[in-house]
Amino acid sequence: MDTRPVNVHEALASFDDVYSPRIVARMNDYDVRIAHTLGEHVWHAHDDTDEFFLLMFEPSGTSSTGDRHDGEIPAHVDSTTGRALG
């Protein structure tokens, strides 16, 4: 297993496909994936697969969290209960 850090910006720059996740690391039998997205996304969960999401937004992006978020939510982030915003 490769234990070197992953440069997320370089990994994202290595492909352009939208909604086509790439595995960048494996940890404790889980895949760590990255993907490009476009437009709004309706939060959803896969109880047997989704363990962690790191969301990085361009400055003009819309920020939201799903219904499983723990802790304080920053003022600029909208929190949902698993439904579309709006």
pLDDT in tens, 38-57: 877 776 777 777 666 667 76
> What stretches of the chain show up as alpha helix (H) in DSSP?
8-13
pLDDT at 81 over 80: no
In this structure, what are the phi and psi dihedrals at residue 36, rounded to the nearest 5 degrees? Answer: -90, 140
The SS3 call for residue 18 is: strand
In this structure, what are the phi and psi dihedrals at residue 9, rounded to the nearest 5 degrees? Answer: -65, -40
Rounded CA gap, 3 and 34, in Å? 17
Are 78 and 64 in contact by the 8 Å Cβ rule? The answer is yes
- Domain range list for the chain: 1-63
pLDDT at 82 over 70: no
Are 74 and 57 in contact by the 8 Å Cβ rule? The answer is no
11-37 residue pLDDT tens: 889 999 988 888 888 888 888 888 888
